[in-house]
Amino acid sequence: MRREPPQRLADYGPLVFPAGMLIVFFVIPFATMIAVSFFERQQGGFYQPAFVWENYARFISLFFGKVLGFSLVLAMAVAAACVAIGVPFTYLLSRSVRNVQILWLVALLSILSLSEVMIGFAWSTLLSRTAGITNLFAYLGLMAGPQALTPSFGAVMTAMTYQALPYTVLVLYPALVRLDPTLTEAARTLGASPIRAFFTVVVPALRNTIVATLIMVFIFALGSYLLPQLLGRPQHWTLSVLITDQAIYQSNMPFAAAMAVFLVLVSLALVGLAVYAGRRREAA
């Protein structure tokens, strides 16, 4: 069925409202942020309109280069962990009976209802020395004594993966439910093991969905703000934390705007790359 292009101006009517919302809530704030990123900071936390590159040049410094690199590595690690856990879990969930699927989906939705503050303090308690899980390990003889597992990179990584995993499962679930089960049955009939059938049939069939999920979780983790502060040390803080620090505590709004512009551009570049790759596969 071929889609006809709009013939009259009235055919563009349904696009007016979403286009207006996009302009009001994204284009105008983003344009303002770009303009402020070139302003010049003055003494006392004030800034004036100008066109200087100093705010972007500070990215070249060693400190902010390390923060940027750590933020990107952390976001990539969280995205990879969520997909590595979420794909097999969602596949098994989609092959379960209906009641089991409903129970798990309700549990995942309940996690989404938790705020980042609640998740952060819950994990800080679970990984603490006084009331954490290491007390159970010490009781079972697996450890010599309880010890604190936070602040650490592992604590930040674990909490961020826990927070992003429900989104991963909910994105993968519709694609896996629609996947024809006869494909894996045919692979099993031809002699493939369950694991080989999963990696040679299921994973390639979900390639576009997996790539989209990786990008979604990467962008989600790149903007994480509270969990790195609650569960990590200052060297584990992400760029989002420094943006808030520069804007509120250092009163350096131009530099904070420059860092925010960079984050938005990275997110848009990833989305554009995914769309371009998807169109190339369709054309091929």
How many whole angstroms separate alpha carbon 231 and alpha carbon 228? Answer: 5
Q: Is residue 100 part of a domain?
A: yes
Give mean pLDDT, residues 50-59.
78
| 4 domain-assigned | no
CATH number at residue 214: 1.10.3720.10
What is the tally of structural domains in the chain?
1
Query: Rounded distance, CA 240 to CA 229, Å?
Result: 11
241 vs 234: CA distance, rounded Å: 10
- pLDDT tens-digit map of 253-277: 888 888 888 888 877 887 777 777 6
Residue 225 lies in a domain: yes
Preceding omega of 234 cis (within 30 degrees of 0): no
Residue 20 is assigned to a structural domain of this protein: no
pLDDT surpassing 90 at residue 198: no
pLDDT at 61 over 80: no
* Residue where the block lists tokens 């100093």: 54
Give a yes or no: residue 27 inside a domain: no
Note the pLDDT of residue 17: 84
- The pLDDT value recorded for residue 115 is 84
pLDDT of residue 11: 66
- Which structural domain range is residue 122 located in? 62-283
* Mean pLDDT (whole number) for 100-124: 87
Does residue 148 lie in a domain region? Answer: yes
Query: Three-state DSSP class for 82?
Result: helix
Contacts of 98 (CB under 8 A, 6+ apart): none
- Tell me if 57 is assigned to some domain: no
Nearest 5°: phi and psi at 40? Answer: -105, 130
- 């349904």: which residue's tokens? 14
Confidence of residue 280 (pLDDT cuts 50, 70, 90): low
> Is residue 40 one of the residues assigned to a domain?
no
Match 């350096």 to its residue by tokens. 252
pLDDT at 5: 66
Element (H, E) at 47: strand 47-48
